[in-house]
Structure 1
Amino acid sequence: MMMKAKPILEESITICYYNILPKCLKIADLGCSSGPNALLVVSNIINIVVDTISSNNLNLNLPDFQFYLNDLFGNDFNTIFKSLPQFYKTLSEEMGHEIGSCFINATPGTFYERLYPSSSIHFFHSSYSLHWLSQAPEKLIIEGEEALKWDSIYLTRTSCVSMHKAYLEQFQRDFKKFLRSRSEELVAGGGMLLTFLGSDEDTSEMRTTWELIDMSLKDLLLENLIEKATLECFTMPNYDPSMEEVKQVIEEEGSFILHKLETIYQDWDANMNGSTNDNNNKVDENMRGKIVAKYLRAVTEPLLKAHFGEFIMDELFLRLENKVVQLVKEIKVFKFPTLAISLIKNA
């Protein structure tokens, strides 16, 4: 996904750099996680700045770089820190003496609140994080009646109207808090690039990854492997907004100029080069199922394990894998929409 959004990142970083021309470029990556890609945005941004200055023959010295990696308090920042010596070595070998100093720090905490001092950051980056809400909608807990009528762990095509409304309102509150906090932390002329899961009319009839998890949990319920009460009190704190819903919040909050808003389509198993040979279809389908299930497990297991317990995770993701295989047989190619949003702080 980073590769598909890279042209927008290049444009956003270039505009930000020219607007400010800082001696030390300060960038925060929100929702960095701790996997192998946690430092990829760092190297990408450094390369963009180096290429921008060199390709345009600008008589400028390269800035120092200060990166702040952010995620929730439970994130494994130690894993990132342990990888820094090798990262710095690789960076030095690739870039030589072309770049200045590069400093990397961690800032634990929720990005729905303030994280940095006022007017201290030049650019914010966030990838696949903002579709996670700060919490499940409170109205689902408070109201009862139709809103609490349980049918799934997440919004589906059959969810009641009040459930859709509650999730949308929670997203609107959270996204406004996010924008307000970032506008206070950005310097004049600073910018952001946000990418997160969205929805559109073309994909509204397709099963989402959340629906497949819901179906897998219901299988475990039918097999008496989990309790009905345990399943009914679990709600996925996630909302995939439409482009219009995102645009409305940005306009209402008012702190940013919307520079670019695009929908990018990504294959669920983008890294899988499956064979199209009929004799190998079954093998390819099974492999694709494993890849998608493995990816979803990495993203959702901490949340699911905390509620349902570790003992059930293998069973859950085995059923999920089987459902992905069946889905591949039905529709062969399936994509999910990602919203890419470039914003500039409104002067």
Structure 2
Amino acid sequence: MDSFSATTERQLLLHMNGGKGERSYANNSLLQKKLMLKAKPILEETIMKLYHDSSPSCMKVADLGCSVGPNSLLVISNIINIVDTTCTILNCEPPTFQFYLNDLFGNDFNTIFKSLPDFHTRLVEDKGHKFGSCFINATPGSFYGRLFPSNSIDLFHSSNSLHWLSQDPLLGLTKEAESLYKGHCHIVSTSPPEVYKAYLKQFQQDFKLFLKSRSEELVPGGAMLLVVLGNHETPRRTGWELISLILNDMFLEGLIEEEKLNSFNIPVYEPTVEEIRHVIQEEGSFFVQRLEILILPWVEGINEAGDDSFLDGNIKAGLMAKHVRAAMEPLLSTKFGEEVINEVFIRYQKKVVQLMEVEKLECATFMISMTKNA
């Protein structure tokens, strides 16, 4: 399979669990919701600055990597509320809104569309008819490239999406590195340096293209808020590493075919702040207004009740397994077959329980507000 075909296939296969079922992303994305709410003050600051510099009569906003479920519309609600407050403070007329929801072609856009009538009803009840019209469209496609006309978007938002790479980063790995890496599908503690370098190189290429594309699409003075999963300390345990270790164990036990495991790599990279800053400076189109680092335990925020402290380790690990399964199941089941998925996440839950007893399992998130350079 050539690289174009492989990339196209990935864009069709890479999506979260759709629908509204027990294992859907819609019902297992509370951690992502928590991160969006944590970033809301920075979003407010970004929009306030945007409005001080210009007051668009039609505010065009794109949410990149919108996925599916209530979080897709939470972004829209937050932005409308912030703009409403900002217009009141600045004593200006509220704009018409044009929102573009973007994700890859396999995303479950239909579930989002079905929730729009209720969303619009609540919006009118909350804001009244005097508030500007709100139009919502889907824009499928990879954000590693152009999606919109030049100088057409006022604000880009992207949360929990930019850790996904455009392609398998290890396609060009040397035979020697392949032999050392054999049996794994992501960076693990025993990975040779070439593996780290290949993942970093792919991230740098992708993020640079992302920034270039957005700078061409933003209006002069346009802004962007990114919420990015990152790596604050090295070495640090990641959920992707756990999946790699589990699949390796299952291969050694004869439950997974060697050929399938050796031809699969999880296309995810969690960059450091320095790596992000380096690409932004090198690409040159944006000025970083604000960058904050948020450190959270793996299991914080994934319980619907909101308080995780009273849950025992096994229940916390079970919630974490469901959370990861909602994101990874389509990719894993396509590669290894649906019959092994239950076993993968039973083992994932057990491994998280074991690790919580001996390690501090945390994840880092970077919240970055940027404006387009003049």
Shorter-chain TM-score bucket reads over 0.9
Distance 1:299 1:236 in 2: 12
Aligned residue pairs: how many? 335
Partner letter of residue 149 of structure 1? L
Paired position in structure 2 for 1:280:
none
Paired position in structure 1 for 2:283:
253
Question: Which sections of structure 2, spanning at least 5 residues, go unmatched?
Answer: 1-34
Q: Residues 169 and 206 of structure 1: is their aligned pair in 2 closer, same or farther, counting only changes over 3 Å?
A: closer
Distance 1:14 1:238 in 2: 33
8 Å contact 2:237–2:361 — kept in the other structure?
no
1:320 matched to 2:351: no
The one of 164, 167, 170 equivalent to 1:135 is 167
8 Å contact 1:260–1:341 — kept in the other structure?
yes
Distance 1:222 1:195 in 2: 37
The one of 306, 309, 313 equivalent to 2:334 is 306
8 Å contact 1:212–1:320 — kept in the other structure?
yes
1:342 matched to 2:374: no
Structure 1, residues 10-55: CA drift from partner, whole Å, max 9, x if none? Answer: 111211222220001000000000122111100000011111222x
1:339 is displaced (CA, Å) by 1.2
Distance 1:267 1:92 in 2: 38
TM-score by length of 2: 0.86
The one of 171, 177, 190 equivalent to 1:158 is 190
Distance 1:241 1:217 in 2: 24
The one of 265, 276, 290 equivalent to 1:235 is 265
1:143 is displaced (CA, Å) by 3.0
Q: 1:55-70 counterparts in 2 under 5 A?
A: 56=89, 58-70=90-102
The one of 72, 96, 112 equivalent to 2:144 is 112
8 Å contact 2:163–2:269 — kept in the other structure?
yes
8 Å contact 1:147–1:162 — kept in the other structure?
no
Partner letter of residue 171 of structure 1? F
Q: Residues 334 and 149 of structure 1: is their aligned pair in 2 closer, same or farther, counting only changes over 3 Å?
A: closer
1:142 is displaced (CA, Å) by 5.2
Structure 1, residues 52-94: CA drift from partner, whole Å, max 9, x if none? Answer: 222x2x3211001110000001111111111100111112222
TM-score by length of 1: 0.92
Question: Which sections of structure 1, spanning at least 5 residues, go unmatched?
Answer: 277-282
1:147 is displaced (CA, Å) by 5.1
Distance 1:205 1:149 in 2: 19
Partner letter of residue 325 of structure 1? V
Taking only the aligned residue pairs, the percentage that are identical comes to: 54
8 Å contact 2:155–2:218 — kept in the other structure?
yes
CA RMSD, 1 decimal: 1.6
Partner letter of residue 64 of structure 1? T
The one of 164, 177, 195 equivalent to 1:146 is 177
Paired position in structure 1 for 2:13:
none
| Farther off after superposition, 145-154 or 99-108 | 145-154
Partner letter of residue 118 of structure 1? S
Partner letter of residue 5 of structure 1? A
Distance 1:141 1:323 in 2: 31
| Farther off after superposition, 87-96 or 36-45 | 87-96
Partner letter of residue 37 of structure 1? N
For the residue of structure 2 that corresponds to 1:111, the secondary structure is coil
Distance 1:52 1:167 in 2: 41
8 Å contact 2:102–2:140 — kept in the other structure?
yes
Paired position in structure 1 for 2:31:
none
1:275 is displaced (CA, Å) by 4.7
The one of 267, 274, 277 equivalent to 1:244 is 274
